[in-house]
Amino acid sequence: MSINDELAARFLAASRMLELLGEDHFRVNALARAARAIESLPADAADLAKDRKALTAVPGIGAKSADKITEFIATGAIAEFDEIKARVPPGLLDLMELPGLGPKTVAVFWNQAGVTSLDDLKRIIDDGSILSLPRMGAKSVEKIRQAIAFGQSASHRTALGLALPLAEHIAARLAKVRGVTRTAFAGSARRAKDTVGDLDILAASSDPDAVTRAFLDLPQVLQVLQSGPGKSSVRLALDTASSRWGRGSSESTAAIQCDLRIVPPDRFGAALMYFTGSKEHNVRLRERARAAGLTLNEYGLFHAPADEASKPDWSRKDPIAAHTEHEVFKALGLPDIPPEIREDAGELDLAEAPRLLELGDIRAELHAHTTASDGRLDIESLAARAKERGFHTIAVTDHSRSSPQAGGLSPERLLQHIEDIRKAAERVPGITILAGSEVDILADGSLDYDDSLLEQLDVVVASPHAALSQDEDAATIRLLAAVRHPLVHILGHPTGRLINRRKGLEPRLREILDAAAENHVALEINAHWMRLDLRDIHARQAMNAGCLLAVDCDVHEPEDFDNLRFGVATARRGWVSKDRCVNAWAAPKLHEWLASKRPHRPH
């Protein structure tokens, strides 16, 4: 674990423990925000800590947080956090991970029933003593029992590529039910996080019973967790059709919780904003509203009550704004904030909405495989598929010789393949077909082919495939060597991670970013939903460092082109703009950039 990850984990744990202890929510939120800021730092915290002014200039890191960072760098500990930790049994943090168990409920279990672990919670459920606790009726206890079972069977978050299509399907299916006027999915799926905890579906309907029945009767429903007039919850089976990496051990019986909330049509925008989140973004929005003498909740934006202790029925009050998200943002003096960046990462300081990369901006695919290695399309079929999507350029980048399991090409086979690509380019009009290779970055940083062969390629995507558990120093040296190689255009899936499967390399990213910017090498956001590498926070750091980025599908089969939306969504979460994404460039600009690394070749 890197020092940034270690620090972020400590700040987040302290925030959650303070929440459990019922401490001041401003302090809780400040620590949580600092944790996110530390996680997103473009350089090692140890280096930034040498310049206190630079450290406190990072949004989310105030003077007190800076002191704690400096203390950890110097001593390896944070005394205040250690004192907090001593007050909270460690098992309670695990309980807060269970669906539906918030800090207040867990605190009741702890303070009134002596619960300090999952085993303790199971014990008071089994012996019935939980029923003597406040707000613990038979239905509540059954929900907790189900949450324990669900938490144990779904111990990790679901990849976006599995969760998002299901959310879209459900919203579309419910939209056809009698009386339904609008549906949408919300939560982390709408924000396009690389993994999703559960699904949130909103529906506006004149016949709530009909849409509830349709939801509970979905063919994917494994278990009904709750059914009521305004909210229903189910466990859904996931479609875990195998990717080229196969299924994970926990994916063969994968399930995800899905909540349906039925909201009034005139409050739909406020509800969508609220349930989209993130929690941290919503906290900042409510603080902004409060500073203006207003109250913001899932029912809308209202004038704050004169009596702060009163608890109005907001569903019966007339809102200032609620029908659309645009109305609410406008009433708060904010531009429309894209869902992907609602993470309390500076978006509420914007004077106008950022122009983020869009799916329709992508005009080229620069990382694709054919039957020459481990792809399922021949050269001409690959080009035809790219052409159907309106692309002006497709790069054929089959594997290099050190990937024999993927049919990697020997130097002799690559020479023949280049010739085959050139001939195919003459036969397929209307699209430029480039000869390239996805060249392995070997463990020592050298590339898998000699320079004399690399010079004959139009595109070189240099990628790590093996030795992905190297330490920080080795990984950094390895990737720096590839980025500084004069014939490399793109650093492919830079860490080699697989979501929920493999952590991948953990280099000193700031060094890689600086070198990439200096050498005009694009960093890839690999769009396959199992990779999404670079991840979102790294893409944001790359933007801040002045890097170019490439959003590529890493095509192996026809369906892989459909993964483009996941790569674009990740780019949007990283605040990537069209002008910095090489795939979005017009053909002349893209081809000029590619040719700039082949100065000795005639053009």
Report CA-CA distances (Å) from 55 to 2, 38, 489, 596.
18, 10, 33, 37
Q: Which CATH class is domain 160-241+255-262?
A: alpha beta
Per-residue DSSP letter, 77:
-
**Least trusted range by pLDDT, from 401-410, 431-440, 471-480:** 401-410
Q: How high does pLDDT run on average in the chain?
A: 92
The pLDDT, as a whole number, for residue 41 is 79
pLDDT at 253 over 90: no
**What's the CA gap between 345 and 118, in Å, rounded?**
34
Contacts of 408 (CB under 8 A, 6+ apart): 373, 398, 399, 400, 401, 402, 440, 448
The pLDDT, as a whole number, for residue 251 is 46
Q: CATH number for the 3-88 domain, one of 3.40.50.1820, 3.40.50.2300, 1.10.357.10, 1.10.150.110?
A: 1.10.150.110
Question: How is residue 244 written in tokens?
Answer: 């080229």
Full 3-state SS string of 370-419 = CCCCCCCCCHHHHHHHHHHCCCCEEEEEEEECCCHHHCCECHHHHHHHHH
CATH superfamily name and code, 272-349: DNA polymerase, thumb domain (3.30.210.10)
Residue 110's pLDDT band, with cuts at 50, 70 and 90, is very high
CB atoms within 10 A of CB 191: 23
The pLDDT, as a whole number, for residue 98 is 79
**Helix, strand, or coil (residue 30):** helix
The tens digit of pLDDT for each residue in 501-542 reads 888 999 999 999 999 999 999 999 999 999 999 999 999 999
The tens digit of pLDDT for each residue in 141-155 reads 988 887 787 665 545
| Domain 160-241+255-262 in the same topology as domain 3-88 | no
Residue 1's pLDDT band, with cuts at 50, 70 and 90, is low
The pLDDT, as a whole number, for residue 240 is 66
**What's the CA gap between 101 and 118, in Å, rounded?**
12
CATH fold for the domain made of 92-153:
DNA polymerase; domain 1 (1.10.150)
Query: pTM, whole model, 2 decimals?
Result: 0.84
The pLDDT, as a whole number, for residue 154 is 47
The tens digit of pLDDT for each residue in 352-366 reads 999 999 999 999 999
The tens digit of pLDDT for each residue in 157-201 reads 899 999 999 999 999 999 999 999 999 999 999 999 999 999 999
Report CA-CA distances (Å) from 602 to 217, 456, 521.
64, 11, 21
Domain ranges of the chain: 3-88, 92-153, 160-241+255-262, 272-349, 359-595
Residue 248's pLDDT band, with cuts at 50, 70 and 90, is very low
**What's the CA gap between 343 and 282, in Å, rounded?**
9
**Least trusted range by pLDDT, from 10-19, 93-102, 129-138, 293-302:** 93-102
Residue 589's pLDDT band, with cuts at 50, 70 and 90, is very high
**Helix, strand, or coil (residue 74):** helix
Domain 359-595 = CATH 1.20.120.1760: no
Question: How is residue 454 written in tokens?
Answer: 């690399």
